[in-house]
């Protein structure tokens, strides 16, 4: 019987996950298919019932459900527990198990470029599920300080606490009040959805220079306003599709228990932009 996989979230129509995973299934000649399924913010329980009814084999979770999904899982891996969010779920006869592949997916392109995280000064926009994975990643790699900028201060506070708990010097500033103190940051990361609709990214160019790494996890469009600002100062650029690829490869390997066809998946992502 054909196995069905999905990505759930809202908005979901821009998602490249179906392209990536269907390309991987084709490459390895697997009898599997992957769909995008829109579940609005307050309808997660109904959506999950529907997925169980069609005997979904596994699914990815994206904005805005990565944190809320935790309530509905029967078990999780250690990374999900630490991060407080899951982006990959397996379904074995109705038993849902959550994994987090965002953290490693986020780190992959940094490690590939041999960039130094130790003692770095980080500016992170956003305080959602992806931001939680990012802060744990930096804490594990012994970064020095993280400044979290978020629209909703309460959510940012939770993240600040998480960072402190993990031994990372952390502070939260509201998006509205943030100007920066003209310190240059080693890493500037966007984990919000700002940019998906071609919005201007609210950062002063004074905060980045050629020694900064500018990393936007928004992957469509490829050249977000933040990426353009990074290019203007010759910063090192990391594109959102690179994290997307990293987490997708790991999700595939959890579901299939075999090595993912990396090149076919990368090609599918880049083809998705043409």
Active site residues: 66
Q: Does 264 bind ligand ATR (CB under 6 A)?
A: no
| Nearer Cβ to ligand ATR (32/160) | 160
| Nearer Cβ to ligand ATR (195/230) | 195
Q: How many residues bind ligand ATR (CB under 6 A)?
A: 20
Q: Which stretch binds ligand ATR (CB under 6 A): 19-27, 28-36, 60-68, 114-122?
A: 60-68
Q: Does 88 bind ligand ATR (CB under 6 A)?
A: no
Q: Does 127 bind ligand ATR (CB under 6 A)?
A: yes
| C-alpha to C-alpha distances, 118 to 26, 194, 207, nearest whole angstrom | 40, 28, 20
| Nearer Cβ to ligand ATR (155/266) | 155
How long, in residues, is the chain? 274
| Nearer Cβ to ligand ATR (32/226) | 226
Q: Does 251 bind ligand ATR (CB under 6 A)?
A: no
Q: Does 191 bind ligand ATR (CB under 6 A)?
A: yes
Among 16, 20, 66, 187, binds ligand ATR (CB under 6 A): 66
Q: Does 109 bind ligand ATR (CB under 6 A)?
A: no
Q: Does 170 bind ligand ATR (CB under 6 A)?
A: no
Tokens at residue 162, please? 């998480």
Q: For residue 126, what is the DSSP state?
A: -
Buried residues in 244-269 as b, exposed as e (16+ CB within 10 A): bbbbbbbbbebbbeeebbeeebbebb
Tokens at residue 245, please? 């690829």
Q: Does 105 bind ligand ATR (CB under 6 A)?
A: no
Among 126, 195, 240, 261, binds ligand ATR (CB under 6 A): 126
| Nearer Cβ to ligand ATR (33/202) | 202
Cβ atoms 125, 265 nearer than 8 A: no
Q: Does 196 bind ligand ATR (CB under 6 A)?
A: no
Q: Does 195 bind ligand ATR (CB under 6 A)?
A: no
Q: Does 67 bind ligand ATR (CB under 6 A)?
A: yes
Q: How far is CA 195 from the centre of its chain?
A: 14
Cβ atoms 214, 190 nearer than 8 A: no
Q: Does 150 bind ligand ATR (CB under 6 A)?
A: yes
C-alpha triplet 107, 41, 105: angle, nearest 5°: 10
| Nearer Cβ to ligand ATR (65/145) | 65
Q: How many CA atoms lie within 13 A of 208 on its CB side?
A: 26
Cβ atoms 36, 65 nearer than 8 A: no
Distance in angstroms (rounded) separating the CA atoms of residues 117 and 141: 6
**Residue 9, by phi and psi: left (phi above 0), alpha (psi -120 to 50) or beta?**
left
Q: Does 97 bind ligand ATR (CB under 6 A)?
A: no
Distance in angstroms (rounded) separating the CA atoms of residues 123 and 199: 19
Binding site for ligand ATR (CB under 6 A): 62-64, 66-67, 126-131, 150-152, 155, 175, 191-194
């Amino acid at each position: 019987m054909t196995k069905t996989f999905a990505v759930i979230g809202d908005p979901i129509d821009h998602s490249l996950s179906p392209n990536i995973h269907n390309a991987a299934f084709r490459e390895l000649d697997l009898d599997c298919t992957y769909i995008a399924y829109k579940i609005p913010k307050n309808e997660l329980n109904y959506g999950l019932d529907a997925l169980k009814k069609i005997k979904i084999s596994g699914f990815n979770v994206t904005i805005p459900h990565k944190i809320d999904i935790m309530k509905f899982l029967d078990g999780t891996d250690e990374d999900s527990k630490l991060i407080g969010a899951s982006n990959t779920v397996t379904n074995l006869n109705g038993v849902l198990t959550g994994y987090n592949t965002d953290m490693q997916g986020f780190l992959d392109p940094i490690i590939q470029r041999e960039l130094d995280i130790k003692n770095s000064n980080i500016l992170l926009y956003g305080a959602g599920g992806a931001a939680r994975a990012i802060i744990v990643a930096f804490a594990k790699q012994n970064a020095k300080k993280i400044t979290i900028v978020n629209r909703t201060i309460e959510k940012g506070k939770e993240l600040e606490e998480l960072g402190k708990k993990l031994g990372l010097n952390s502070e939260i500033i509201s998006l509205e009040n943030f100007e920066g103190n003209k310190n240059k940051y080693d890493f500037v990361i966007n984990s919000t959805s700002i940019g998906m609709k071609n919005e201007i990214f609210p950062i002063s160019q004074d905060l980045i220079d050629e020694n900064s790494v500018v990393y936007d996890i928004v992957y469509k469009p490829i050249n977000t306003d933040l990426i353009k600002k990074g290019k203007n100062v010759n910063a090192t650029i990391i594109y959102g599709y690179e994290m997307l690829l990293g987490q997708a490869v790991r999700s595939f390997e959890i579901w299939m228990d075999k090595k993912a066809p990396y090149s076919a998946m990368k090609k599918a992502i880049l083809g998705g932009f043409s």
